[in-house]
Amino acid sequence: MIDVPRFGLGCAPLGNLFEELSEEQAHALLTAAWDAGVRYFDTAPHYGLGLSEQRLGRFLAGKPRDEYVVSTKVGRLLRENPSWDGTALDATGFVVPAGLRRELDYSPEGVRASVEDSLTRLGLDRIDILFVHDPDLSGDPGATESALTALADLRAEGMVAAIGTGTLGIDALLTTARSGLADVLMVANRYTLLDQSVAPDVLSACDDHDVRIIAAAVFNSGLLASTPTRDAKYDYNDVPEEVFTRALELDTICSAHGVALPAAALRYPLQDPRVLAVVAGATTPSQVHQNLAHLTTPIPAALWQTLAAHNLIAPPS
């Protein structure tokens, strides 16, 4: 199994997720993360139609290759958008021109083409971890295993060290864990204080097949990144009322134990020995520093016990 630092910077914001970052802001963000010791970076072609990979690649150019870990994803090929009018922005939440379009392709040929394109954008000759990205969106029940088989071939060729699936979809995560091909799952939004859908089936499958987990989007797209507000995002969308109520309850209990909600959110998955790392995005250097500080915040065992007693998380094992 690849050695992964326990904290990774989620690089969707480098693709202008929900808001535009200038080149100078993106560089300052990455510089702050690097200077603070962050050495794991997670990106994808989907993030800003390749912009995230390009910005990350420019920053890492000249950095010692053995000092950092990069994960990216396959499943979305970026191709010219013939219907682009020259001004329209991407419609999937990234503030970038829609001059390219995404083609879902989980075939062996599509996987290899995606990896080659990512290597070009990143300026690398190998990827540390490759994830099948959201295969549940394809509508093809065989998409996950088809792409994983292709990734396993690339792993055998030495182009990648570890493979798996990164998605919100529990079925795809379960298929991946049971496949016998995967090293690691990137569980997005589904191993958090607000959503523990990975239990029990995915976790049991990981035990059965020696698969590890990287918990991504542990703030559920921002709702848990601070005191919950109604204008925050949850799973990349508006926050349902019942979820907002639960988030407020989490915040109240954390405060009663002297713990900031985002600190608890970052630390919660790391209690599980299956979890190698947590991944969280940031848009400013201060957010990077805050997240790293949260990782060293003392968390009293009583907090987890109280959350379990309120049926907000599973009882501590």
Residues 6+ apart with CB under 8 A from 200: none
The type of residue at 108 is: P
Q: Residues 282, 9: contact at Cβ < 8 Å?
A: yes
CA angle 71, 74, 75 (to 5 degrees): 150
Decide if 191 is catalytic: no
Return the DSSP state at 97: B
b/e per residue, 294-314, with b = 16+ CB within 10 A? beeeebeeebbebbeeeebbe
The secondary structure element, H or E, covering residue 216 is strand 212-216
Please give the Cα distance from 11 to 18 (Å, whole number).
Answer: 13
Please give the Cα distance from 170 to 158 (Å, whole number).
Answer: 29
b/e per residue, 47-68, with b = 16+ CB within 10 A? bbbbbbbbbbbbbbeeeeeeeb
Residues 6+ apart with CB under 8 A from 142: none
Which of 40, 47, 234, 268 does the annotation list as catalytic? 47
Q: How far is CA 156 from the centre of its chain?
A: 24
Distances (CA, A) of 206 to 95, 178, 274: 36, 8, 8
Q: Return the active site residues.
A: 47
